[in-house]
Amino acid sequence: MTAIKELKAQARTKVGKGAARAERRAGRVPAVIYGDGKAPVGITLDHVEINKIIYAGHFLTTLFNVDVNGEKHRVIPRDYQLDVVKDFPLHIDFLRVAVGASLSVDVPVHFLNADTAPAIKQGGTLNIVSHTVALNVPADAIPDAIEVDLTDYNFGDSIHLSAIKLPAGVTWAGHGDDTLATITAPSGLKEAEADEAAAAAADAAKA
Domain boundary among 42, 67, 98: 98
**pLDDT at residue 196, as a whole number:** 56
pLDDT at 79: 94
Residue 135 has pLDDT above 80, yes or no: yes
Same domain, 110 and 198: yes
Sort 142 into a burial class: Cβ within 10 Å, 0-12 / 13-18 / 19+: buried
Instruction: Decide if pLDDT at 202 tops 60.
Output: no
**What is the reported pLDDT for 137?**
93
Of the candidates 98, 117, 140, which is a domain's last residue? 98
Could you give the count of Cα atoms lying within 13 Å of 194 in the half-sphere of its Cβ? 7
The whole domain housing 152 covers: 103-206
Number of H helices, E strands in the chain: 4, 13
Long-range contacts of 198-206 (CB under 8 A, 24+ apart): none
Q: How confident is the model at residue 190 (pLDDT cuts 50, 70, 90)?
A: very low
Average pLDDT, the chain: 87
Q: What is the pTM of this model?
A: 0.78
> What is the mean predicted confidence (pLDDT) over 15-31?
88
Q: For position 89, which CATH number holds?
A: 2.40.240.10
Count of structural domains within the chain: 2
Strands 132-138 and 102-112: antiparallel
Q: What is the rounded average pLDDT of the residues 59-88? A: 93
Cα–Cα distance, 160 to 153 (Å, whole number): 12
State whether 143 and 161 are in the same domain: yes
What's the pLDDT score for residue 154?
A: 93
Task: Enter the DSSP assignment of 131.
Answer: S
The whole-angstrom separation of Cα 189 and Cα 195 is: 10
